């Protein structure tokens, strides 16, 4: 080993290759926020989440899994691009390659439009989306593909075998009409008021699922818990509530996930800390 390899640090990467076990989860960041419609700055989120991850405890007492003993490989960030089509192509190809190598992609955004690329790089699976917004607009500000429309594109192109949307509370009337007409599974905030009932509904829907991809837009969380997001919406989930939903995924096959829409410049540290906790718990589940 060279002295450079021995003494130099690759921080803020969260790669942990301290044992002989093969890595299973490949992390990469997508510093892209060109379609953000309110606050901008999620391009800086991947490294902010990494920094928070390096400063939280990564033993999950709930899942009885210690990430200190798990190999995690961080591939770094995608090259910065301003074009959404090019970004989605890059995300799709990197995701597809990770899957072909038998690994699980863990993607740090960036705005939510990146999920259009990652899901298209996966085998067709159940998509679980945590989001304050439905993201089912047909277009927004002249764009057919953006962080406000990506889910409509994935649904119309039949890219998922099942769709479960959790925490929704903000959308246009046309969006609500669309998801209700197509009987898309929506576990909105009204259903989460009774947490036990909401969790039961989620578990029931998961029973028919095999491969599961999870996408977390941090604005699903109430701004009191996560102020540093691109489009904050009141009346959201608590950190406890989202973690209880995440723990429902234990014993299911998690094939990939992303965490998006953190805006570090608006954060007091609580949003990035929650993002890091969600990243840790999802890696624990993926490693099970």
What is the Cα gyration radius of the chain? 18
Q: pLDDT-derived band of residue 89, with 50, 70 and 90 as boundaries?
A: very high
Burial level of 264, CB count in 10 A (0-12/13-18/19+)? buried
Higher pLDDT, 30 or 12: 30
Q: How far is the C-alpha of 190 from the C-alpha of 242, rounded, in Å?
A: 14
123-165 tens-digit pLDDT: 999 999 999 999 899 888 877 888 988 999 999 999 999 999 9
What pLDDT, on a 0 to 100 scale, did the predictor assign at position 140?
85
Residue 231 · residue 37 · CB < 8 Å = yes
Looking at residues 66-93, what average pLDDT do you find?
A: 91
Domains of the chain listed by start with CATH number: 26-287 (3.40.800.10)
Higher pLDDT, 268 or 210: 268
Q: Which helix (H) or strand (E) holds 50?
A: helix 45-53
Looking at residues 206-215, what average pLDDT do you find?
A: 92
Written as six digits, the tokens of 216 are: 């977390």
Q: pLDDT-derived band of residue 11, with 50, 70 and 90 as boundaries?
A: low
Q: pLDDT-derived band of residue 174, with 50, 70 and 90 as boundaries?
A: very high
What pLDDT, on a 0 to 100 scale, did the predictor assign at position 177?
94
What pLDDT, on a 0 to 100 scale, did the predictor assign at position 5?
62
pLDDT at 207 over 80: yes
pLDDT at 252 over 90: yes
Task: Report the mean per-residue pLDDT for the chain.
Answer: 92
Written as six digits, the tokens of 110 are: 């960036």
Written as six digits, the tokens of 1 are: 């080993």
Count other C-beta atoms under 10 Å from residue 39's C-beta.
16
Collapsed DSSP state (helix, strand, coil) of residue 104: strand
Sheet holding 185-187, edge to edge: 72-77, 25-30, 104-109, 253-260, 211-217, 126-130, 162-166, 185-187
- HSE (side-chain half, CA atoms, 13 Å) at 70: 22
22-33 tens-digit pLDDT: 889 999 999 999
Looking at residues 248-252, what average pLDDT do you find?
A: 95
Looking at residues 4-25, what average pLDDT do you find?
A: 68
What pLDDT, on a 0 to 100 scale, did the predictor assign at position 14?
80
CA distances from 218 to 20, 139, 230, 277 (A): 34, 22, 9, 12
Looking at residues 4-18, what average pLDDT do you find?
A: 63
Look up the pTM and report it.
Answer: 0.94
């Amino acid at each position: 080993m060279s002295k450079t390899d021995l003494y130099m640090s690759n921080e803020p990467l969260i790669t942990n290759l301290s044992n002989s076990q093969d890595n299973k989860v490949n992390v990469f960041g997508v510093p892209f926020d060109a379609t953000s419609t309110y606050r901008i700055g999620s391009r800086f989120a991947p490294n902010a989440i990494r920094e928070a991850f390096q400063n939280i405890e990564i033993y999950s007492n709930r899942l009885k899994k210690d990430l200190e003993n798990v190999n995690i490989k961080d591939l770094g960030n995608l090259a910065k691009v301003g074009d959404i089509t090019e970004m989605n192509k890059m995300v799709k190809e990197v995701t597809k390659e990770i899957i072909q190598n038998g690994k699980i992609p863990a993607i740090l955004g960036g705005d939510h439009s990146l999920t259009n690329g990652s899901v298209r790089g996966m085998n067709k699976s159940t998509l679980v989306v945590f989001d304050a917004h439905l993201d089912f607009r047909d277009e927004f500000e002249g764009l057919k593909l953006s962080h406000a429309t990506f889910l409509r594109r994935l649904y119309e192109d039949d890219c998922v075998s099942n769709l479960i949307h959790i925490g929704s509370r903000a959308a246009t009337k046309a969006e609500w009409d669309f998801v209700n007409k197509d009987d898309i599974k929506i576990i909105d905030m009204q259903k989460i008021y009774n947490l036990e009932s909401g969790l039961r509904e989620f578990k029931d829907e998961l029973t028919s699922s095999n491969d599961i991809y999870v996408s977390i837009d941090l604005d699903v969380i109430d701004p009191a818990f996560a102020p540093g997001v691109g489009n904050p919406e009141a009346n959201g989930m608590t950190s406890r509530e989202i973690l209880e939903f995440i723990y429902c995924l234990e014993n299911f096959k998690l094939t990939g996930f992303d965490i998006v829409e953190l805006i570090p410049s608006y954060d007091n540290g609580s949003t990035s800390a929650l993002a890091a906790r969600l990243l840790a718990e999802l890696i624990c589940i993926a490693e099970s």
